[in-house]
Amino acid sequence: MKTIGRAIIGVAVLGGLVAGCVSHPGPKSRSQVVQMAPSCEDFSVQIYFESRSAQLTNEARSVLKGADALATGCKVASVRVVGLADAVGAPDANLALSKQRADVVTRALDKMGYSNVTLDVGAAGDAGAMTNDGENRPLRRQADIRFDLDGRLR
């Protein structure tokens, strides 16, 4: 008897779900889809690199595309790019690597259409990559990118 009761309840629930789907078929045209206006608030993203590398990975390119999508429809006042490095190796080499990382990101942004935006580019090398106890901080193989937005495009 319990099995028959459960089966009846299951059929009733399934019928309700199907009926709910049928009664709300979804938008019939593109104009029926409501799109959110861009928030145009400042934001930051991080691009990570392989160890001792300044080449953009596929994931890094995806992050840049996502950042570009967030800025779409907004006036971009400026973009700040800071290259960083781990505290492994010589400080001069780490500074050079962090400069290369910042330059690579800047070139990618130029190709994406940010060539007419004020770009502030810097490199920190391995500065700040160690704790007060002298231990290396992991995941400093990155570039930090800050998008400063100034409202919606008119």
Q: pTM of whole model > 0.85? A: no
Q: Which of 59-68, 71-80, 122-131 has the lowest mean pLDDT?
A: 122-131
Tens of pLDDT, residue by residue over 120-139, are 999 988 887 777 777 766 66
Cβ atoms 50, 104 nearer than 8 A: no
Render pLDDT for 4-51 as a digit per residue (tens, 0 to 9). 555 455 445 445 544 444 444 555 555 544 555 568 999 999 999 998
User: Which pLDDT score is estimated for 30?
Assistant: 54
Q: Calculate helix-pair angle for 58-71, 91-109, nearest 10 degrees.
A: 50
Distance CA 141, CA 99 (A): 12
DSSP letter at 57 equals: P
What value does the mean pLDDT of the chain take? 81
Instruction: Tell me the three state secondary structure of residue 56.
Output: coil
Nearest to 43 by CA among 79, 16, 19: 79
